[in-house]
């Protein structure tokens, strides 16, 4: 790392980043997020992360079945076997990276890939008799189950699965559930929850900060509490960043856009505070859809946010 970079980089202790692409789009109805990993790489992700002084290893993409080759056979949990198979492979890739001392950086794909990422992270710490927390930056709770989901799309179920409430094929991945304790799980930016999903969010024990909380209290206070909850009694926390956390004015190319999200600066502050905590164990960025983006603007912002999470600073 050269002297100029030292002036604005606050780096995590691990120096090795393992990039893993997960081009999965079976979890949702709108096509295109399978090109998210490519869009992030086109936005010069690898070189920009290297500029912070990290050793970067790009492990390529996991294999994923295409929707045309595997018709959905369960309207309550569409493409469940195919998603479970992809998440199982991803979990192993993430686990192996962490066993080698690397920080996994997973590029989605729709948000169902979080089941695989978090399974690999949780397995790594479980074998050391440690817990891991989770900060879920998202407009949606993603806590539906096949019984409550109005669409049957699994990208609306990953957090439920990680908490042990989803289909067994996903909730029991790697042979244990839950992957994360509710009291160490925090949703930030919530503003779109299905009516049938609300009771599960309220009763789960998860700490959910809505956009009203951010409006009333400010992003800094919300993130301080979120980091505290995710860190309480854990070895650290995984960050799952759905780009619809950000308002569609700044991130138009996402799987399910919802108005009224975090501003450009709020999103950066969230990632900067996460980095400052030195508690982040791993990170994933999901739901980038270049098909509906504007000149790769959302992917470029996603890379900027990753950079803030990994230590880039203004001064």
3-state SS class at 53: coil
Establish how many alpha carbons lie within 13 A of residue 267's alpha carbon, considering only the half-sphere containing its beta carbon.
Answer: 29
Least Cα distance to 46 among 311, 314, 303, 315 occurs for: 303
Does 242 qualify as catalytic in the annotation?
A: yes
β pairing state of 207-210 and 185-190: parallel
Q: CA 289 → CA 126, 147, 243, distances in Å?
A: 33, 28, 10
Does 124 qualify as catalytic in the annotation?
A: no
107/37 Cα distance (integer angstroms)? 5
Does 250 qualify as catalytic in the annotation?
A: no
Does 127 qualify as catalytic in the annotation?
A: no
3-state SS class at 315: coil
Give me the catalytic one of 34, 88, 138, 272: 138
Does 138 qualify as catalytic in the annotation?
A: yes
Does 244 qualify as catalytic in the annotation?
A: yes
Give me the catalytic one of 25, 88, 110, 111: 111
Does 96 qualify as catalytic in the annotation?
A: no
DSSP-assigned letter for residue 267? H
Give me the catalytic one of 192, 242, 266, 300: 242
Give me the catalytic one of 25, 88, 155, 247: 155
Give me the catalytic one of 88, 110, 124, 140: 140
279/45 Cα distance (integer angstroms)? 22
For residues 142 and 200, is the Cβ–Cβ distance under 8 A? no
Give me the catalytic one of 25, 88, 142, 272: 142
Give me the catalytic one of 247, 284, 287, 300: 287
Q: What residues does 238 pair with on adjacent strands?
A: 134, 282
Give me the catalytic one of 110, 244, 272, 284: 244
Does 287 qualify as catalytic in the annotation?
A: yes
Catalytic residue numbers read 111, 138, 140, 142, 155, 242, 244, 287
């Amino acid at each position: 790392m050269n002297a100029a970079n030292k002036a604005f980089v606050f780096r995590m202790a691990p120096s090795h980043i393992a990039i893993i692409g997960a081009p999965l789009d079976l979890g949702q109805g709108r096509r295109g997020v399978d090109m998210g990993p490519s869009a992030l790489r086109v936005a010069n992700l690898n070189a920009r992360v290297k500029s912070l002084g990290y050793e970067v290893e790009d492990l390529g993409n996991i294999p994923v079945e295409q929707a045309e080759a595997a018709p959905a056979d369960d309207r309550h949990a569409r493409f469940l076997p195919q998603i479970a198979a992809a998440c199982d492979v991803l979990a192993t890739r993430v686990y192996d990276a962490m066993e080698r001392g690397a920080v996994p950086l997973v590029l989605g794909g729709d948000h169902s890939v979080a089941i695989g990422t978090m399974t690999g992270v949780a397995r790594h710490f479980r074998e050391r008799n440690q817990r891991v927390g989770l900060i879920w930056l998202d407009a949606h709770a993603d806590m539906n189950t096949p019984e409550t989901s109005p669409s049957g799309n699994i990208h609306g179920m990953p957090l439920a699965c990680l908490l042990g409430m989803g289909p067994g094929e996903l909730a029991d991945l790697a042979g244990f559930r839950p992957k994360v304790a509710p009291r160490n799980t925090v949703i930030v930016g919530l503003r779109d929850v299905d009516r049938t999903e609300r009771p599960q969010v309220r009763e789960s024990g998860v700490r959910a900060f809505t956009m009203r909380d951010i409006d009333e209290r400010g992003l800094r206070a919300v993130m301080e509490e979120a980091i505290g909850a995710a860190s309480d009694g854990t070895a650290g926390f995984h960050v799952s960043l759905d780009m619809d956390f950000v308002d569609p004015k700044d991130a138009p190319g996402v799987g399910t856009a919802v108005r009224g999200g975090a501003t450009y600066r709020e999103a950066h502050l969230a990632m900067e505070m996460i980095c400052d905590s030195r508690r982040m164990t791993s990170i994933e960025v999901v739901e980038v859809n270049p098909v509906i983006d504007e000149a790769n603007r959302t992917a470029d912002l996603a890379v900027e946010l990753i950079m803030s999470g990994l230590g880039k600073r203004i001064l």
